[in-house]
Amino acid sequence: MAMSMGLGAASLALPGVTACSTGRRPSFVVALADDLGYGDLGCYGHPFAKTPAIDELAANGIRFLSCYSAGANCSPARAGILTGRHPFRSGIYDWIPRGEDAHLPRDEITIASWLKRHGWATCFVGKWHLAGRMQSKHQSNPGTHGFEHWLATQNDASPRIGAQNFVLNGRLERSLGTGREPEDSAHTVVHEAVRWLETQNERDPDTPVCLFVWFHEPHRPPVTTERFRKLFADQPEPLASYYGSISHMDHAFGELLEAFDTLGYGRDSLVLFTSDNGPTGGLGSSGGLRDDKGSTYEGGIRVPCIARWTGSERAGKITNEPTIGTDVFPTLCELAGIQPPTDRPVDGRSLLPALEGGEIERDRPYFWYHPLHLYALRDGDWKLLADEAFGHVQLYDVRTDPWEKSNLASREPERVARLSNELRSLRAEVEAEGPTWTDWPSVDRLKQRLGPHP
Would you state the pLDDT for residue 446? 65
Q: Which of 19-23, 28-32, 296-300 has the lowest mean pLDDT?
A: 19-23
Q: Is residue 442 very low, low, confident or very high in pLDDT (cuts 50, 70, 90)?
A: confident
Is the CA virtual torsion 187, 192, 195, 200 positive or negative? Answer: negative
In this predicted structure, what is the pLDDT of residue 14? 29
Tens digits of residue pLDDT in 124-171 = 999 999 999 999 999 999 999 999 999 999 999 999 999 999 999 999
Apex 132 CA angle, 129 and 138, nearest 5 = 120
Q: Give per-residue pLDDT as tens, 94-105.
A: 999 999 999 999
Instruction: Judge whether residue 447 has pLDDT over 80.
Output: no
Specify the DSSP element, H or E, that contains 428: helix 413-433
Residue 406 has a pLDDT of 98
Provide the greatest CA pair distance for the chain: 65
Structure confidence by residue, pLDDT tens digits, 316-332: 999 999 999 999 999 99
The boundaries of every CATH 3.30.1120.10 domain in the chain are 366-447
Exposure b/e, 215-252, CB count within 10 A at least 16 = b:
bbbbbbebbbbeebbebbeeeeebbbbbbbbbbbbbbb
Say which CATH class 19-355 falls into: alpha beta
Question: What does the pLDDT read at residue 450?
Answer: 52
Split at pLDDT 50, 70, 90, the class of 453 is: very low
In degrees rounded to 5, what are phi and psi of residue 370?
-140, 140
Given a cut of 70, is residue 355 above it in pLDDT?
Answer: yes
Mean pLDDT estimate for the chain: 91
Q: Find all residues with CB under 8 Å of 261, minimum gap 6, and list them.
A: none
- Does 441 sit behind a cis peptide bond, omega within 30 degrees of 0 on the bond before it? yes
pLDDT at 293: 96
Instruction: Tabulate helix, strand, coil % of the chain (nearest 5).
Output: 30, 20, 50
Distance between CA 427 and CA 410 in Å, rounded?
24
- Helix (H) / strand (E) element for 199: namely helix 185-203
Q: Identify the pLDDT of residue 177.
A: 60
pLDDT greater than 90 at residue 176: no
Answer yes or no: pTM beyond 0.85.
yes
Mean pLDDT along residues 330-342: 97
Percent of the chain whose predicted confidence (pLDDT) is above 90: 85
Interval 252-266 mean pLDDT: 98
Cα Rg of the chain, angstroms? 21
pLDDT in tens, 376-417: 999 999 999 999 999 999 999 999 999 999 999 999 999 999
Which pLDDT score, from 0 to 100, does residue 75 have?
Answer: 97
At residue 11, the pLDDT reads 29
**Cβ neighbours of residue 51 under 8 Å, at least 6 residues apart?**
41, 42, 43, 246, 247, 250
Residues of the chain with CATH 3.40.720.10: 19-355
Least confident of 99-113, 115-129, 368-382, 439-453: 439-453
Which CATH number describes the domain made up of 366-447? 3.30.1120.10
pLDDT band at 452 (very low <50, low <70, confident <90, very high): very low
